[in-house]
Structure 1
């Protein structure tokens, strides 16, 4: 029922690269409840097109001061770039912290993206697999994330994200969230969503975000 065609670049690029000289910024706050505990998570994500085949970026995450990371990355395309599908590899270096102690971390990710069209508009799909190593933790973490979002055809657009993470010898982690996107002036997009997540313990979060393209 879905015919795969090229569509405009999604706001969160995934497998897509930024155009040369173009930039993107995302600021997100999540009010999370896990049992009787409540805390605020913050995420900052930025990327810039350094050239037609190179995108650089920064990602920062903090979970209420208990843990988080800061990462710089480079994204390069793989294969052809003139069809509906995109394939890219991402290399990241940075540091993670737990209870205030910072240690090095590395990340390697492979992403597949594809534009979709349907009678009501256009959409995009991104599938990403990643391997993360954090110094001080015994094993690497393997991640798979799937995102499906509407990119055109309506002012108010849905987006769904599913994710899983696994560290050998530990319980499988997962997350599922549903979001609504709506455009503001001057290349601004606002997002609101709900997430259910298990990462050691089960939690629920209300997510508010701002995306800005330059």
Structure 2
């Protein structure tokens, strides 16, 4: 039943914020402090995560996806994303190819994203689906990860994000998690001079994670976003 649910996520017709190119010269990054309560051992695991994108051209986006702690690096992936087909249609599609380390193993990470902007009760938002395959050594098998995201602007400065995170593993149990979060846009300080004028937008995000199927841990995160 779980595998069917995750496959529905993987092949759903709606999707998340992944398909849109960043735009030439544009930068986005986020950094989070994460805590996860591991119920089986009764301990709290702490780690950090960094995600960044840079618009190499109007269509090609380069990125970095990292998380780890002082003890070990869980994931360090560099990737490239390009749109598929026309970029002026309602649904956007994109392909991604990444490479790096996951749990100390060299991997390739091909991915696919589909998404669209929405309007709900005069509020703007988005629906996206990001799907990635983790391809390592033959002995480690293959993993598929998929994030289905619904985001909405609750106020002009506040976004609410609801996300389902699913995974299919050749070794270990398939899983499904729920990860809601709230993002607040920070007010920019008035610049004292034109040279010191601040550009771009800054946000603070707070979120939690709880298991739905085959995931017993609980998590929380606090982070910042920046785009310019």
Question: Aligned in 2, Cα 1:95/1:169: closer, same or farther, shift over 3 Å?
Answer: closer
Structure 1 spans left out of the alignment, 5+ residues: 1-11
> 2:177 matched to 1:175?
yes
Deviation of the 1:157 alpha carbon: 2.3
Runs of 5+ unmatched residues, structure 2: 1-15, 189-199
Q: CA deviation at 1:193?
A: 1.1
Q: Greater helix share, 1 or 2?
A: 2
1:138 counterpart residue number: 140
Tell me by how many angstroms 1:151 deviates: 4.0
Kindly report the root-mean-square deviation, in angstroms, between the aligned alpha carbons of the 2 structures.
2.2
Question: Which residue in 2 is equivalent to 1:51?
Answer: 57
Give 1 or 2 for the bigger CA radius of gyration: 2
Q: Alignment partner for residue 32 of structure 1, among 13, 23, 36?
A: 36
Partner of 1:121: 123
Task: For residue 120 of structure 1, report the CA deviation from its aligned partner.
Answer: 3.7
Deviation for aligned residue 1:95: 1.3
**1:69–1:200 CA distance, 2 compared to 1 (3 A):** farther
Separation in 1, partners of 2:120, 2:213: 35
Number of residue-to-residue matches in the alignment = 199
Structure 2 counterparts to residues 55-134 of structure 1, below 5 A: 55-62=61-68, 65=71, 68-97=74-103, 102-134=104-136
Q: TM-score, normalised by structure 1?
A: 0.85
Measured in 2, the distance between the counterparts of 1:39 and 1:212 equals 26
Structure 1 stretches of at least 4 aligned residues deviating more than 4 Å after TM superposition:
198-201
- For the residues of structure 2 that align with 1:123 and 1:151, how far apart are their CA atoms? 6
SS at match of 1:15: coil
